């Protein structure tokens, strides 16, 4: 799954807004409490900070992560009847391909619709992404991006840390 910094920020903003709505208390005559006034001030400050942060957003293309042997790109939208030769033919122009994974569906025997291509050099992989993203391969428009990206900054909280413990318990059984 590809991580999007801006969508994460939007999710956090929506969660914060829901939390504010739950906490909002009104007096009997409809006036907001001092607590609400403080929250409103903090909301305005956060909105200003978010506007400043929007200019600093990064995409997955800015933060690729090297695998053990090279730089891996993922190609989605691959035609179900594609073969490794087709992939080598189109993507080999950008550099030496170290490895191609073209996974097949066990029931049908056709390609699942994606493949992973490994290049030795980052520049080769970047060029493949830039030039092949949105192009056609056997009549299908393919999307090309980095398969592995660096984790987001530590400042962003994890979405489901409580769930991680539950998953670990299931694995141990």
pLDDT at position 1 is 44
Query: Residue 163: inside a domain, yes or no?
Result: no
Same domain as 69, residue 53? no
Same domain as 94, residue 51? no
Alpha-carbon distances of 68 from 8, 98, 128, 167, rounded to whole Å: 28, 12, 19, 26
Same domain as 132, residue 75? yes
Which sign, positive or negative, has the C-alpha torsion 144, 148, 154, 156? positive
142/38 Cα distance (integer angstroms): 50
Give the CA count within 13 Å in the CB-facing half-sphere of 95. Answer: 20
pLDDT at position 42 is 64
Query: Residue 156: inside a domain, yes or no?
Result: no
46/108 Cα distance (integer angstroms): 51
pLDDT at position 115 is 95
pLDDT at position 130 is 95
Query: Residue 14: inside a domain, yes or no?
Result: yes
pLDDT at position 37 is 65
Query: Residue 15: inside a domain, yes or no?
Result: yes
Query: Residue 154: inside a domain, yes or no?
Result: no
pLDDT at position 55 is 41
Boundary of a domain, candidates 39, 57, 75? 57
Same domain as 67, residue 48? no
Here the CATH number for the domain that contains residue 95 is 3.30.70.330
* Structural domain boundaries enclosing 38: 5-57
How many domains does the chain contain in total? 2
Query: Residue 131: inside a domain, yes or no?
Result: yes
Same domain as 74, residue 51? no
148/90 Cα distance (integer angstroms): 21
Tell me the pTM.
Answer: 0.54
Residues in the chain predicted with pLDDT less than 50, given as ranges, are 1-2, 25-28, 50, 52-58, 173
Same domain as 116, residue 65? yes
Same domain as 47, residue 92? no
Same domain as 128, residue 52? no
pLDDT at position 165 is 54
Same domain as 70, residue 49? no
Query: Residue 169: inside a domain, yes or no?
Result: no
């Amino acid at each position: 799954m590809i991580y999007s910094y801006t969508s994460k920020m939007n999710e956090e903003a929506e969660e914060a807004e829901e939390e504010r709505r739950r906490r909002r208390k009104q007096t009997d005559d409809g006036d907001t409490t001092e607590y609400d006034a403080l929250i409103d001030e903090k909301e305005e400050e956060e909105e200003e900070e978010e506007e400043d942060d929007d200019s600093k957003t990064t995409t997955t293309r800015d933060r690729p992560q090297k695998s053990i042997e090279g730089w891996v790109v993922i190609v989605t939208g691959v035609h179900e009847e594609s073969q490794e030769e087709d992939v080598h033919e189109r993507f080999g122009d950008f550099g030496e391909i170290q490895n191609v994974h073209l996974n097949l569906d066990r029931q049908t025997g056709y390609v699942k619709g994606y493949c992973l291509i490994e290049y030795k050099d980052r520049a080769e992989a970047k060029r493949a992404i830039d030039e092949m993203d949105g192009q056609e391969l056997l009549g299908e428009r393919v999307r090309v991006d980095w398969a592995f990206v660096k984790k987001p900054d530590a400042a962003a909280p994890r979405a489901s840390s409580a769930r991680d413990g539950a998953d670990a318990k299931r694995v141990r059984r």
